[in-house]
């Protein structure tokens, strides 16, 4: 059964791979699972048919037979659980890799997303210049600890896992603002993730959507 995922018909990031379908594409590529993509417009995302799968009217979703899933972290977890290659076999190592998945989306990502949202919503307000350093320092608190834990290791806990996949994708959200560069070991970690052939295939696939939309 070939799973079908949803992605933006026109990603606001113009093919930079920041939308969350990229995590799912990368996971599917890592495990060698072919997939189909249904592109959705912003209007379609908010319609009942899409909300039946994604209650919040967002992408990505994942459908495989009679299984319909939402939440990119849960989708990546499902892919990792049902194929070899993204979670270790040893039960304790598997549980630790799962912990890193949660750490990525529930400890590292929230302050990064908050900074983005405040920029969109309050970037033109007089208090924004005072607020931005506070938000960035909250991110640094997490990055300090994450880089201390990673140290000189290649990945967070032994072999590359779904925990690294989500962590690399979350850290990528800092690209272009100069913060990741403050942490050479984390920059190198993200670069290692992006160098993986599965990442490259996933990135090219989502970029092709943007290219087709902008030339067609």
Binding site for ligand GTB (CB under 6 A): 12-13, 18-20, 57-60, 71-73
Structure tokens of 31?
Answer: 């495990």
Rounded to a whole number of angstroms, the minimum distance from the CB of residue 10 to ligand GTB is 10
Rounded to a whole number of angstroms, the minimum distance from the CB of residue 183 to ligand GTB is 21
Rounded to a whole number of angstroms, the minimum distance from the CB of residue 151 to ligand GTB is 28
Rounded to a whole number of angstroms, the minimum distance from the CB of residue 210 to ligand GTB is 11
Among the listed residues 178, 170, 116, 176, the one whose alpha carbon sits nearest the alpha carbon of residue 142: 170
Nearer to ligand GTB, 18 or 187 (CB): 18
Rounded to a whole number of angstroms, the minimum distance from the CB of residue 60 to ligand GTB is 6
Nearer to ligand GTB, 88 or 110 (CB): 110
Nearer to ligand GTB, 13 or 90 (CB): 13
Residues with Cβ within 8 Å of 169's Cβ and at least 6 positions away in sequence, in order, are: 20, 22, 23, 26, 104, 193
What is the rounded radius of gyration, in angstroms, for the C-alpha atoms of the chain? 18
Nearer to ligand GTB, 4 or 93 (CB): 4
Residues with Cβ within 8 Å of 200's Cβ and at least 6 positions away in sequence, in order, are: 194
Reduced to 3 states (helix: H, G, I; strand: E, B; else coil), residue 33 is coil
Nearer to ligand GTB, 71 or 164 (CB): 71
Nearer to ligand GTB, 7 or 186 (CB): 7
Residues with Cβ within 8 Å of 17's Cβ and at least 6 positions away in sequence, in order, are: 172, 202, 203, 206, 207
In total, the chain counts a number of residues equal to: 216
Rounded to a whole number of angstroms, the minimum distance from the CB of residue 148 to ligand GTB is 26
Residues with Cβ within 8 Å of 67's Cβ and at least 6 positions away in sequence, in order, are: 78
């Amino acid at each position: 059964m070939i799973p079908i995922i949803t992605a933006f018909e026109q990603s606001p990031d113009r093919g930079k791979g920041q939308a969350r379908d990229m995590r799912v594409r990368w996971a599917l590529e890592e495990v060698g699972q072919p997939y189909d993509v249904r592109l959705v417009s912003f209007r379609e995302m908010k319609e009942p048919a899409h909300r039946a799968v994604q209650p919040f009217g967002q992408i990505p979703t994942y459908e495989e037979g009679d299984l319909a899933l939402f939440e990119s972290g849960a989708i990546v977890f499902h892919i990792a659980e049902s194929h070899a290659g993204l979670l270790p076999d040893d039960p304790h190592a598997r549980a630790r890799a799962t912990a890193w998945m949660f750490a990525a989306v529930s400890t590292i990502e929230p302050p990064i997303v908050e900074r983005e949202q405040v920029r969109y919503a309050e970037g033109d307000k007089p208090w924004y210049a005072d607020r931005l350093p506070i938000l960035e320092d909250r991110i640094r608190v997490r990055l300090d600890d994450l880089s201390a834990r990673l140290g000189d290791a290649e990945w967070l806990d032994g072999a590359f896992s779904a925990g690294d996949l989500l962590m690399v994708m979350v850290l990528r959200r800092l690209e272009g603002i100069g913060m990741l560069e403050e942490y050479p070991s984390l920059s190198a970690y993200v670069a290692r993730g992006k160098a993986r052939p599965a990442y490259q295939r996933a990135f090219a696939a989502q970029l092709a959507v943007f290219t087709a939309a902008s030339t067609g």
